[in-house]
């Protein structure tokens, strides 16, 4: 993607990008709109998928459902990133992915209501193959179009959690937290997202016309990024942190229901609300403590979050709400800052694939391990103890992520090095 690195020169950058003139606010508005509706789609169903499955007699596939979502994130982002870098205009890739996704989302209610576990898992997998790559692609598109104005990226990204807020509050208000109707809601906004993508300026693929190779399609050339030690360390820490995120995404909503919370979607919306609050502080914080300590802070807060979930078993709802509210700090000072860091070091021709690696670790490998592991813990420890111990039966679910977050922080401090020049 052109212009992914601040100050980089490229013939493909649209004229006027990098200059704060009257066109930039209009560009920011369009990027913000696409980001908003993209995350409304995701937030409408992903946060309470476990609750929907449990309410329809499919609680046995909660872990597998999140696991295959993670597998989809492993298989598809680099492939679609390669298409965005080489073959198709990035906005077109984004639009096509959401148009296909809308159809798949509309098919899910029937599969779930008929208790067809195999079809449900298959539809979730295919849908996530189309959706997961868009999470990295929207970052790449935004950073590219902003050019030298990348300092405004956190404000564009703010509309991501705002989308989750809108989705969570709407789903809760409509009483759809445990209903398959939320998939129809998501499908409508997937169509809106596809149409909104075409409001963005069209930029050609930066590697258009280059010689075809199988390695381009599967993103092999992006492996050069791992020559940068700090990028490699960031990916390791991202993987470890995302394992905890996989645990949270898989079982937070059923746990809140066990604690006696009725409007689960509404409470979970507090997480992205906190993202909206904290994301605007990123430029100010980065200017004062830098990326190293901002990322460290984000990693550290994951241990606090799971400690609060642990205490919630006996301390009740306030601890659980506190854990949900920490979502903003955990995500803003980790995923958003990591995306900005990657934008600084990734070559223009690998921009989409570089952001794809972040999504690969967050929604792919980390989520796969987290959801698979939490599914095992749920079946082996939580279910057998629920009748006699109630919410306390969930304690084994939260202990591991606390220790993992501490280990991640130590690794980051020990292995981080100042940014190196971008790989050739």
Distances (CA, A) of 7 to 144, 149, 155, 156, 345: 11, 9, 20, 19, 12
- Burial level of 117, CB count in 10 A (0-12/13-18/19+)? middle
Higher pLDDT, 384 or 104: 104
pLDDT at 374 over 80: yes
Kindly report, residue by residue over 24-47, the tens digit of the pLDDT.
778 888 998 999 999 999 988 987
Containing H/E element for 290? helix 282-315
Q: What average pLDDT does range 221-240 have in this prediction? A: 83
* Furthest C-alpha separation in the chain: 67
pLDDT of residue 215: 57
Which single residue is written with the structure tokens 């220790």? 403
Kindly report, residue by residue over 55-88, the tens digit of the pLDDT.
888 888 887 887 888 788 777 755 665 665 566 7
For the chain, give the mean pLDDT.
Answer: 80
Higher pLDDT, 168 or 38: 38
Per-residue pLDDT band at 290 (split at 50, 70, 90): confident
Higher pLDDT, 277 or 399: 399
SS3 165: helix
In whole angstroms, give the CA distance from residue 166 to residue 187: 15
pLDDT at 407 over 90: yes
Kindly report, residue by residue over 307-340, the tens digit of the pLDDT.
999 998 887 788 888 999 898 888 888 888 888 8
Residue 19 phi/psi, 5° resolution?
-115, 130
In whole angstroms, give the CA distance from residue 369 to residue 287: 35
CA nearest neighbour of 357 among 3, 10, 80: 80
Which single residue is written with the structure tokens 């003139």? 21
Higher pLDDT, 103 or 290: 103
End-to-end CA distance of the chain: 15
Per-residue pLDDT band at 237 (split at 50, 70, 90): very high
| From 89-93, 251-255, 351-355, 358-362, the region with the lowest mean pLDDT | 351-355
pLDDT of residue 205: 65
pLDDT at 234 over 50: yes
Give the percent of the chain with pLDDT over 70: 84
Q: What average pLDDT does range 125-144 have in this prediction? A: 84
Q: What average pLDDT does range 274-286 have in this prediction? A: 82
pLDDT at 386 over 80: no
């Amino acid at each position: 993607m052109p212009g992914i690195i601040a100050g980089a020169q490229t013939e493909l950058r649209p004229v006027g990008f990098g200059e704060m003139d009257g066109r930039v606010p209009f560009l920011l508005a369009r990027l913000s709109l696409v980001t908003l509706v993209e995350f409304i789609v995701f937030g409408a169903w992903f946060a309470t998928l476990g609750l929907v499955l449990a309410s329809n007699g499919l609680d046995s596939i909660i872990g597998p459902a999140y696991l295959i979502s993670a597998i989809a994130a492993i298989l598809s982002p680099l492939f679609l990133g390669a298409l965005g870098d080489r073959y198709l205009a990035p906005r077109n890739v984004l639009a096509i992915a959401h148009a296909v996704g809308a159809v798949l989302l509309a098919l899910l209610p029937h599969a779930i209501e008929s208790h067809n576990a195999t079809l449900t898992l298959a539809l979730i997998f295919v849908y996530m193959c189309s959706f997961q790559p868009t999470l990295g692609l929207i970052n790449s598109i935004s950073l590219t179009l902003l050019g030298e104005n990348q300092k405004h990226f956190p404000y564009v990204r703010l509309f991501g959690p705002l989308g989750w807020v809108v989705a969570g509050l709407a789903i809760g208000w409509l009483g759809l937290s445990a209903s398959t109707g939320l998939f129809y809601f998501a499908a409508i906004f997937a169509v809106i997202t596809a149409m909104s993508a075409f409001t963005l300026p069209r930029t050609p693929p930066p590697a258009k016309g280059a010689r075809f190779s199988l390695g381009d399609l599967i993103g092999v050339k992006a492996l050069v990024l791992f020559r940068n030690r700090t990028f490699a360390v960031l990916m390791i820490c991202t993987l470890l942190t995302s394992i905890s995120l996989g645990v949270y995404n898989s079982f937070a909503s059923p746990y809140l229901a066990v604690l006696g919370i009725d409007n689960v979607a509404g409470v979970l919306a507090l997480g992205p609300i906190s993202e909206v609050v904290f994301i605007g502080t990123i430029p100010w914080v980065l200017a004062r403590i830098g990326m190293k300590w901002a990322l460290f802070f984000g990693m550290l807060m994951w241990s606090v979050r799971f400690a609060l979930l642990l205490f919630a078993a006996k301390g009740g709802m306030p601890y659980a709400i506190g854990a949900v509210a920490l979502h903003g700090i955990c995500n803003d000072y980790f995923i958003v800052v990591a995306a900005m860091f990657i934008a600084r070091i990734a070559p223009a021709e690998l921009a989409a694939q570089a952001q794809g690696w972040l999504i690969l670790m967050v929604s792919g490998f980390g989520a796969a391990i987290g959801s698979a592991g939490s599914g095992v813990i749920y079946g082996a420890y939580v279910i057998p103890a629920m009748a006699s111990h109630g919410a306390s039966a969930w304690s084994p679910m939260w202990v591991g992520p606390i220790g993992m977050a501490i280990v991640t922080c130590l690794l980051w401090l020990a292995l981080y090095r100042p940014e190196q020049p971008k790989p050739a």
